[in-house]
Amino acid sequence: MKYRKFFVSVVVFAFLFSLAITGSQAASYPIGALNSTDWKLTLPINSAQEIKFPELATYTSEWFHLNATGDGAVFRARTDGATTSNSANPRSELRQLFGTTNAAWSSTTENNSMSIDQVVNVLPIGSKPVVVTGQIHGASDDISVFRVEGNTSGDRNVASIWITDGNTSHGHLLTNAYHLGDRYQVGFSVSGGQISYTFNGVAVAYTQKKSFTGGYFKAGSYNQSGGNCTKLADGQCDYAEVTIYAVQVCHNNTCTGGTLGNIVTPIAPTSTVAPTSTAAPTNTAAPAATPAASTATPTPAAVSTATNAPATATALPTAIISPLPTPLLAPCSDDDDNDQDHVDALAYRVLMAPYHIYLPQVGR
């Protein structure tokens, strides 16, 4: 019994120590906070400069840096930033790779998904306060994106989150009560020629039929107010800024990136928009259902520490919970020999928990 108590004490100490180590390693550089190497970064400077690994592993700048708490990557794009050849809008944005080559997948023959845990900190303050935070892109154009649109009058701290359908900006409304600084999660899933969506971990009653090849995901701050500069107090143009805490991408059931936790106080989906079509032909959105509004009160999330951010973007981070796996909570038996075996197994699982490695139980 004494041996067992001592052993468990050692295990708990080792577990907490390993959490401290892994946490400090993740906080060294912004890409480390996202725990994935399957990306390249496009910047709003130097003719839309691209940063690839190994340089991306230690890259940090005004346009891509760690947040103040060291657990998220901040993407910023000014309205006067450099653009790619096929766009008039600047971006600080990740582009999906397969190893060192550009990802390109099929919507009909492969299974692909992307989930993002994020905050929109700042929107441009001019006539077009809009940012795209996540994209499904085809070989030549975007297929569907998550689009955050701020108000041009009234409360500039409130925005709507939309799913687009090709060139249709307003395919489906997720919420019209998003507050800048609130932390939330969105997700795409593409399989069998159909796109489905999630919002704060809940399936959205809306899908799109799409058939395309050359597909890939993008995530970050894609400022839709390119060329519409409104000067801030420091004399610089306004910008769009997004913090991503985790982004997980799965290709044919093999996943990379961080694991999304559970949001304690999710944003209530408040869409009341009627569906734009009652049919579901190829490349046309299916009818949207009105989700039930949550009674939870959104908890504001962290914003950038930048000195030239608009004063409306303020608040503190929303808590994220990653529950312990069930095996860690299993009771011990009444038999001392079997009990010690269980403690050994429990110790092994606790030590592996920070690395998300769960192996079959030993010694039973």
What's the pLDDT score for residue 322? 40
Parallel, antiparallel or unpaired: strands 39-42 and 194-199: unpaired
pLDDT of amino acid 28: 92
Average pLDDT, the chain: 77
Would you state the pLDDT for residue 297?
39
What is the rounded CA–CA span in Å between residue 169 and residue 222? 14
pLDDT at 13: 40
Question: In angstroms, rounded to a whole number, what is the distance separating the alpha carbons of residues 300 and 351?
Answer: 33
Q: Which domains does the chain have, with CATH numbers?
A: 1-33+324-364 (no CATH), 35-321 (2.60.120.200)
Q: Which residues of the chain have pLDDT under 70?
A: 1-27, 263-364
| pLDDT at 261 (0 to 100) | 77
> 10 Å Cβ neighbour count for 251?
18
Q: What is the DSSP letter of 297?
A: P
Q: How far apart are CA 163 and CA 273, in angstroms?
A: 12
**R_g (Cα) of the chain, nearest Å:** 22
Provide CB contacts within 8 A for 21, sequence distance 6+: none
Q: pLDDT per residue over 119-134, tens digit each? A: 999 999 999 999 999 9
